[in-house]
Amino acid sequence: MDRFSGKTVVVTGGNKGIGLAIAERFAAEGANLVVASVEEQVESAANRLRNSGAGAIGVLCDVTNKAAVEALYDRAEEAFGSVDVSVQNAGIITIAKIEDLTENQWDDTMDVNTKGVFLCCQEAIKRMRKSGTGGKLINTASGQARDGFIYTPHYAASKYGVMGMTQSLAKEVALDGITVNAICPGIIKTDMWAYNDRVWGELLGDYSPGELMEEWVQNIPMKRAGEGRDVAGLVAFLASDDADYITGQTINVDGGLIMS
């Protein structure tokens, strides 16, 4: 498949986990990639994509900083001439009982997960409107935009915000030929897996390493955790011409864990 040949795709949080899987899927389908992260290994991710034959650059970017986000999209246009698809995937999570949850944890989570999506969408829309050829925005929400989990009210709030923002923007930019959709990954094997298992396991009971997440996986009808490729396939579809009449939607990718 070569659906994205000649197109430029920006992926924030694209240096590892779900973000890297998304970037690799687009690279395999011919896209030029701009992977962004606050972490230094973003250049290693870009090298990995280039080694696969794709055009790719890595950009250090704090998605909570407007000037840094503007510079990110400037770099994308300088390198490849346009921004055709933008995937707002950068995100963080902390887990704590309400009495231990700090104001800084709340603010940091909302800044990255919600404000970061807003700033990137704002800048991507500006570039897409300028080009006059439309575009695709895909925002990473979470199963917690459907069903808030225990000990993560700030994370759930941030992801509900992504879902609402997606709907609002989809209405605003529809006549520009820009679609805006969101995805809700469920339990996916990423770098967050071990952290989530350890901290939730400690707070919920005496779980040995690996036990809690495996117990949760048993509640998934498919009886397996998701892989990055499962999420990447959905994102690639939403960015393709096949999804031109889909906008304002939030789609679960969770093996049937949440059916609403």
Instruction: Centre a 10 Å sphere on the Cβ of residue 75 and count the other Cβ atoms it contains.
Output: 17
- Domain boundaries, given as residue ranges, for the chain: 8-186+228-252, 193-225
Q: Confidence class of residue 192 from pLDDT cuts 50, 70 and 90?
A: confident
Instruction: Report the alpha-carbon distance of residue 236 to residue 29 in Å, rounded.
Output: 9
- The answer to whether the beta carbons of residues 122 and 73 sit under 8 Å apart is no
The stretch 10-16 carries a mean pLDDT of: 97
Span 8-186+228-252: which CATH code? 3.40.50.720
Residue 1 has pLDDT above 80, yes or no: no
Helices then strands, each counted (H, E), the chain: 9, 7
Q: Annotated catalytic, 195? A: no
The stretch 188-204 carries a mean pLDDT of: 92
Catalytic residue (one of 73, 155, 207, 245): 155
Instruction: Report the alpha-carbon distance of residue 106 to residue 85 in Å, rounded.
Output: 29
pLDDT for 123 equals: 98
* Residue 59 β-bridge partners: 36
pLDDT for 56 equals: 98
pLDDT per residue as tens digits for the range 76-109: 999 999 999 999 999 999 999 999 999 999 999 9
Instruction: Report the alpha-carbon distance of residue 220 to residue 199 in Å, rounded.
Output: 21
Instruction: Report the alpha-carbon distance of residue 154 to residue 162 in Å, rounded.
Output: 13
Q: Confidence class of residue 209 from pLDDT cuts 50, 70 and 90?
A: confident
Instruction: Report the alpha-carbon distance of residue 127 to residue 56 in Å, rounded.
Output: 19
